[in-house]
Structure 1
Amino acid sequence: GTGLASYVWEADGSAQGFIQMLRRPGRQEADLLFLAPTADAQSASATAWTKLVGYCIQDAGQHEIRRLFASLPTDSAAIDLLAALGFAIYSNEDVLVLRRPPRSAASFQPSGLRPRRAEDVWWLRRLYGIYTPMPVQHSEGLSDGAGSTALSLAWWELADQQGYVLEEGGDITGGVQLVSGRGGHWLLLHGDPGNGPLMTTLVREGLSVVAGKRRPVYCAVRDYQGGLRATLNDAGFELLDRRARLVKHLAMRVKVAEPVTVPGMVAERHG
């Protein structure tokens, strides 16, 4: 199906664990979200994780989901549990936080910066393809032509979000999205992470959107986006957590033609 699914594992007449899986609209992908109990060395906890995640894998396959994603702290014992179920780390990232957004919006807005339109997605996909390593693109399913009109993490489009792009000479050179929720705001940046002036412009614009608000702003920097970290530090962001992104590729059912034996048909051999 679509949307959020919740599963409870019961044993001995009581609930032993709980997990949620969110399907990404328009894509054959889903994210594993909340899971309890916390994974540790105790056999009961490991059993709960194995049962719950295993059922999600089975259910996802029945609904033609091709990829399951998870995000965990890099020191979490759950990484080994997921690895045993076929998940693999495809990227590590630092999550940075700006605990208090600026009080006022930036007074200077660069020329070429405008609200994002639907047709800009093609350009943002192009930027993703240029600055994202191919193994990561493969893991996120954006190297196989699937969802050509969507961005990675497009399920966030369901949330309260604002997007802007920087247009120069008819080309889109960068983009920024600010996704807002009850716990804070998430900053998403598109473009060359090593281009300091570009990233500074995009970060400044993103923070202008939430100027004067009290909730914190978060931004993830993957290991291959090293140049972006300095830009965020200059803007007041500090390290909050280090996380691993994992994916499990699921087998897909395919229809194949079966050979048919025709009575009286004999293969000829020459020579």
Structure 2
Amino acid sequence: MLGQLRLDYSSYSGIARPRKGASPLIGQVHFNFGEQAARLVFLAPESALSSNALVALLDHLSWESSNRGAFRLLAEIDEDHPTFESFRHAGFSVYTRQNVWKLSLPETSAANGNGHWRPLHSIDQHSLQTLYHAVVPPLVQSAEAIDKRPLHGYAYISEGELLAFVEAINGPLGIYLQPVVHPNLRNPEEFLTSLLRQLPVVMGRPVYLAVRDYQSWFNGTANAMNGQSSTRRVLFVKHLARQQRVAVTSSLLKVLEQHGTEPTAPLARSQNGEKKEK
């Protein structure tokens, strides 16, 4: 049996009961209006996740996400979590893996070479998209498409060129950083240290750095800075809309084919066979 808990339109909680007398399974999704992807927030309790009701609940949450306008539903679990196959059976597929590092603020400032950090501006959108499409694999782009929504974070500029940007998500329990960095970047430890000193960290909130598989070289940098790594995480996506190609005719070509060019003056044939205007 499926039920629901409505908190607000952006959040939806569903309840699944495997059988009469069994512990209910609860899941929640969150969707920000104007974005393309909803996110799975939690599944609970842990003891009920092995039941067959999990697949039904994931299908139900996917349906509700689609009703709210989401094109995709994203989820994240530990790589060795027992629910891995249940997500696969519910239509989810892996699009990347990552480690999340808990970092400490540097005690002293570090030299940052020729580059500097500054907040992201709207004028950075073109450079941001160029870097994003050059660094991030197409499979990840199709799942997250972060270049198609406003980002709040920081841009790293070196010699007038955007070499990296970081999306910064602030919350009461910490600051979550999602970087996209050009592989030509030098001195990654100085780069990361200078970024941490830009953050408005207050009341001792921790900083978390997400390092995706396609930028795995950043794991060594975080480790050298005495960061604490989480267990390896799997990122899932379920596409809720089917892509369909639609033929678009060229209206200009159609007009040219239907309407030929007519002479503006009458023509008369001369004695030698040439045409002359009257």
Query: Which TM-score band applies after superposition, normalised by the shorter structure?
Result: 0.7 to 0.9
| Deviation readout 1:166-202 (Å, 9 max, x if unpaired) | 22343212223443322222222222256342x3344
Bigger radius of gyration, 1 or 2?
A: 2
Matched AA of 1:8? I
Q: Which amino acid aligns with 1:86?
A: G
Shift of 1:89: 0.8
Q: 1:160-171 alignment to 2 at 5 Å?
A: 163-171=153-161
**Unaligned segments of structure 1, at least 5 residues:** 158-162, 257-271
Given candidates 9, 22, 26, the residue that maps to 1:18 is: 26
Which one of the candidate residues 37, 61, 64 is aligned to 2:45? 37
Q: Return the offset for 1:38.
A: 1.9
CA gap 1:54/1:192 in 2 versus in 1, 3 angstroms: same
Q: Distance in 1 between matches of 2:117 and 2:175?
A: 21
**CA RMSD after TM alignment:** 3.0
Pairing 1:68–2:73 present? yes
1:241 aligned counterpart, secondary structure: coil
> What code does the residue aligned with 2:214 have?
Y
**Distance in 1 between the 2:202 and 2:226 partners?**
15
1:7 pairs with one of 2, 5, 14: 14
Is contact 2:106-2:193 (8 Å) kept?
A: no
Are 1:27 and 2:26 matched, yes or no?
no
Equivalent residues of 1:9, 1:17 under 8 A apart: yes
Alignment partner for residue 189 of structure 1, among 163, 179, 196? 179
Alignment partner of 1:82 is 2:112:
no
Instruction: Pick the aligned partner of 2:53 from 48, 53, 65.
Output: 48
Indicate if the aligned counterparts of 2:13 and 2:26 stay in contact, CA closer than 8 A. Answer: yes
Residues 113-167 of structure 1: CA distance to partner in whole angstroms, max 9, x if unpaired? Answer: 3222122233222211111112222233x3xxxx75426xx5xx5xxxxx32222
Q: How far apart, in 2, do the equivalents of 1:75 and 1:35 lie? A: 16
2:102 partner SS: strand
Specify the SS of the correspondent of 2:230.
strand
Give, in whole Å, the separation in 1 of the partners of 2:85 and 2:178: 29
**In the aligned structure 1, how far is the partner of 2:243 from the partner of 2:220?**
45
CA distance in 2, matches of 1:148, 1:177: 11
Q: Which has the higher contact order (CA 8 A, sep 6+)?
A: 1
Matched residue, 1:227: 217
Which of residues 195, 200, 209 is equivalent to 2:189? 200
Kindly indicate whether the alpha-carbon contact (under 8 Å) linking 1:101 and 1:214 is maintained by their aligned counterparts in 2.
no
**Aligned partners of 2:78 and 2:183: how far apart in 1?**
23
Q: Is the 8 A contact 1:123 1:172 kept in 2?
A: yes
Pair 1:57 & 2:62 matched: yes
User: Which amino acid in structure 2 is aligned with residue 150 of structure 1?
Assistant: R
> Could you state the TM-score of these two structures normalised by the residue count of structure 1?
0.74
Matches within 5 A, 1:69-218: 69-98=74-103, 100-103=104-107, 106=109, 108=111, 112-140=116-144, 142=145, 149-150=148-149, 163-193=153-183, 195-197=185-187, 199-208=188-197, 209=199, 214-218=204-208
- For residue 124 of structure 1, give the secondary structure of its aligned residue in structure 2: helix
Residue identity over aligned pairs, in percent, reads 27
Aligned length: 235
**TM-score relative to the length of structure 2:** 0.72
Do the aligned partners of 1:91 and 1:222 also contact (CA within 8 Å) in 2? yes
Q: Distance in 1 between matches of 2:203 and 2:106?
A: 8
Can you list the C-alpha shifts for 1:77-109, whole angstroms capped at 9, x where unaligned? 1111010011011111112222x42345x2646
In structure 2, list runs of 5 or more residues that go unmatched: 1-7, 247-278
Give the residue type in structure 2 aligned to 1:164: Y
